Amino acid sequence: MKRIVIFASGSGSNAENLIKFFHNSDNASVIQVLTNNPHAKVLHRCKSLKISALSFNRIAFSKSDDVLNVLRASKPDLIVLAGFLWKFPEFILKEFVNKVINIHPALLPNYGGKGMYGMHVHKAVVANKEEKTGITIHFVNENYDEGAIIFQAKCKVLASDSAEDVAAKIHELEMEHFPKVVEKLLLNN
Ligand code: GAR
């Protein structure tokens, strides 16, 4: 059984979708959720779904081995960043080479980088009158949103779409594709 650990910072709809998708799987399961935000809704979701969850601060994450030691103990086959907003430390990436992936709510390399997350991305897409946007699932490296791309899916942006409309389309793409891409990656490794 492959082991998935999720990092999330906010609502956690992707985390919940992944947890449910793998709930009855013989191949993989989400064993733990880690968050930098002790008030994140994802913690409530984990409680309802009976999934172990922990929150941590910056010292535990990037100034000590505390989170690294949690990961060493959990032995994940894949670490999935699902709406996780802190930069992932290089010293953790070094121990989990090609095992950390992220989902981004745009077609990278467009609309990536520091500050480009959540509604900020969709507002920029609408402001620039883009005709399409989408999602990108990619490996994580030491730079924001720059690791090798694993998967992209696109959707149309209509001239009448608000940022909220775009967010809804992206949410739909994320719910449909993210678990399948995670499953495929785990089965191929
Ligand atoms: C998702 O749309 C995800 O793609 C995005 O945050 C949202 C989290 O929603 N991630 C980024 O913007 C990363 N740069 P969720 O907490 O409901 O899963």
Tell me: the pLDDT tens digits for 135-167?
999 999 988 788 999 999 999 999 999 999 999
Q: Rounded to two decimals, what is the model's pTM?
A: 0.97
157 near 125, Cβ under 8 Å? yes
- Structural domain includes residue 116: no
Compute, in angstroms, the gap from residue 102 CA to the centroid of ligand 1. Answer: 9
Has residue 158 been placed in a domain?
Answer: no
Evaluate whether residue 181 is within a structural domain.
yes
Q: Is residue 48 part of a domain?
A: yes
Question: 172 lies in a domain?
Answer: no
Question: Considering only CA atoms, which residue is closest to atom 5 of ligand 1?
Answer: 83
Q: Is the CB of 11 under 6 A from ligand 1?
A: yes
Residue 128 has a pLDDT of: 97
Helices 118-127 and 163-187, packing angle to 10 deg: 120
User: What range does the domain containing 99 cover?
Assistant: 2-105+137-152+177-187
Return the residue matching tokens 């968050």: 35
* 8 CB near ligand 1 (under 6 Å): yes
Q: Which atom of ligand 1 is nearest to the CA of 13?
A: 17
Dist CA 43 CA 34 (whole Å): 9
Model confidence over 19-54: pLDDT tens digits? 999 998 999 999 999 999 999 999 999 999 999 999
